[in-house]
Structure 1
């Protein structure tokens, strides 16, 4: 099972005084990139209250292609002031099959972490199968 839910606040720069003058062009480029992904799940880029936000989510039997982390890496490259989180549950990920993972986008960098509030998935989110231990 491959489940993911995420959001990104799209920003041109992390500088508070930045004019964000290239932001409309960046958002247009991101929209073209997203349109080319042909993802079957939630993939939404929209302006709200004068700022662009990207929302993504999906649930498949196996890892999807393109992998949603690749989108976060693309945003980090074209809009390094952006920030957001992506939660991933992948029961086929070696070493992390019982963990909810968090991908963090901040200041042009993408990092991977274990989500302590939702891990280990069994027993935090689901009960163990009968006869099976907790974690």
Structure 2
């Protein structure tokens, strides 16, 4: 399974307003990633745009890759943005498959960071799989 949850507080340079021409560009970016079985939601709250994403897919797919791409594109369009994207891919090799990963956005730039809140998935979130479960 590929699970992801994230949010971005979208901010452009101080002199730009998010509801101007860049606001329309953001709507087009989000519309291009919307659909499928994932949540992709862009809302203006008190005049500031916020993006929320989430999903639980059978496996990492193009739909999942579009979410990563969306985070990168929002960061380039609105370089003052900040937020987090948590994701877990249980099909990754070794300990990576037992790990939640975090993409942290600061000032529109993404970095991959470790997670101490939800990792290791087993046993912190799920019980170990035993042969009797089959």
Q: Does the pair score TM above 0.5? A: yes
Q: For residue 58 of structure 2, what is the aligned residue in structure 1?
A: 61
Q: Per-residue deviation at 1:46?
A: 0.9
Aligned residues: 127
* 1:40-68 deviation line (CA, Å, top 9, x unaligned): 21100010111110000011111131411
Q: CA RMSD in A?
A: 1.6
- More helix per residue: 1 or 2? 2
Q: For residue 26 of structure 1, what is the aligned residue in structure 2?
A: 22
User: Which blocks of at least 5 consecutive residues in structure 1 are unaligned?
Assistant: none
* 1:75-109 deviation line (CA, Å, top 9, x unaligned): 11111100000110111233511001111111121
Maintained 8 Å contact 1:81/1:107: yes
TM-score by length of 1: 0.86
**Pairwise mapping of residues 1-135 of structure 1 onto structure 2 (< 5 A)?**
1-13=1-13, 18-21=14-17, 23-40=19-36, 41-66=38-63, 67=65, 68-95=67-94, 96-130=96-130
Q: Per-residue deviation at 1:31?
A: 0.9
Shift in alpha-carbon separation, 1:22–1:30, aligned structure 2, 3 A: closer
Maintained 8 Å contact 2:9/2:51: yes
For the residues of structure 1 that align with 2:79 and 2:29, how far apart are their CA atoms?
16
User: Which blocks of at least 5 consecutive residues in structure 2 are unaligned?
Assistant: none
Q: Per-residue deviation at 1:23?
A: 4.8
